[in-house]
Amino acid sequence: MPAKKAPHKPLVWLPACHRNLDLDDPGGYTVLADRYALAVTQLGLQPVLFPMAEAEDIPCLLPLVDGVLLTGSPSNVEATHFGATALPTDLLDPRRDKLTMRLVRESLAGAVPLFGVCRGLQEINVALGGTLYQTVHEESGMMDHREPHDEDLAVQFAERHEVLLEQGSAFAQWAGGTRAMVNSLHGQGIRRLGEGLVAEAHAPDGLVEGVRVMGAPAFAYGVQWHPEWQHERHPFYQRTLEAFAQSCREHRQRRDEE
């Protein structure tokens, strides 16, 4: 009797980020913040990183995974991707940008579950032709969405402002209502929505904080806040992540049945 094959654990692609851990370091490192990998693992999924992966590699790598989670990062999406000029103060990650601009579109085309968090939301928006405010806090009438200067992550990731969730949206379902408190750690923000995106969560100043990709065959959302942060203590964050995880499991099951 052949041994029963263990069910495959759904694999989730998290983009590799570049970091120079020391300003004098000419080399740099490929990094992934533990909290994203930990959240994916706690959902029963397996995070995977493809160091040095380029857009040309997507056709052979995307079929290996069951979801794409575009993580946050202190680096900014380079403004050249949305027709503007990068600020001299921008921390950039051009290798990640080149990959994710293509990965967003290929994930949607391939019905691979896609979830963008913070920078990941911004990447979805720009990849679909949208634009960003580069410094939301310098825009008239807008709040300062950046995290407080504090070493303590619990302070940085504390709930910061309310988001208004569209009636009948998945966000409202996951939150159990049309209002929720979220954290906020970003200086860029959605200015013009990309093609096919529906804004379903807004900050009190009107900034788009949550989007759905219209007509996507699998989970396809982006949020400006960080649901991976202490998700086990925040039902809204937890339900959002579980919905993404369920979509990844369904994708895996379809792959296993092929």
Q: Residues 143, 187: contact at Cβ < 8 Å? A: no
Annotation marks residue 226 as catalytic = yes
> What sign does the CA torsion over 182, 192, 139, 92 have?
positive
Residue among 249, 245, 225 nearest 158 (CA) = 225
Half-sphere exposure of 99 (CA within 13 A, CB side): 23
Assess 187 for contact with ligand LF53FM6H (CB under 6 A).
yes
Site stretch for ligand LF53FM6H (CB under 6 A), options 41-49, 56-64, 98-106, 181-189: 181-189
> How far, in Å, are 16, 64, 248 from residue 19 at the CA level?
10, 26, 29
Assess 70 for contact with ligand LF53FM6H (CB under 6 A).
no
3 contact partners, CB below 8 Å, separation of at least 6 = none
Q: Per the residue annotation, which of 118, 200, 248, 251 is the catalytic one?
A: 118
Give SS3 for 190: strand
Q: Which of 19, 55, 61, 74 binds ligand LF53FM6H (CB under 6 A)?
A: 74
Residues 140-179, interacting with ligand LF53FM6H (CB under 6 A): none
What track of x and - describes contact with ligand LF53FM6H for positions 108 through 147 (by CB under 6 A)?
Answer: ----------xx----------------------------
Q: What is the biggest distance separating any 2 CA atoms in the chain, rounded to whole angstroms?
A: 70
Assess 196 for contact with ligand LF53FM6H (CB under 6 A).
no
Assess 73 for contact with ligand LF53FM6H (CB under 6 A).
yes
Number of residues that bind ligand LF53FM6H (CB under 6 A): 12
Binding site for ligand LF53FM6H (CB under 6 A): 33, 72-76, 118-119, 185-188
Catalytic residues: 118, 226, 228
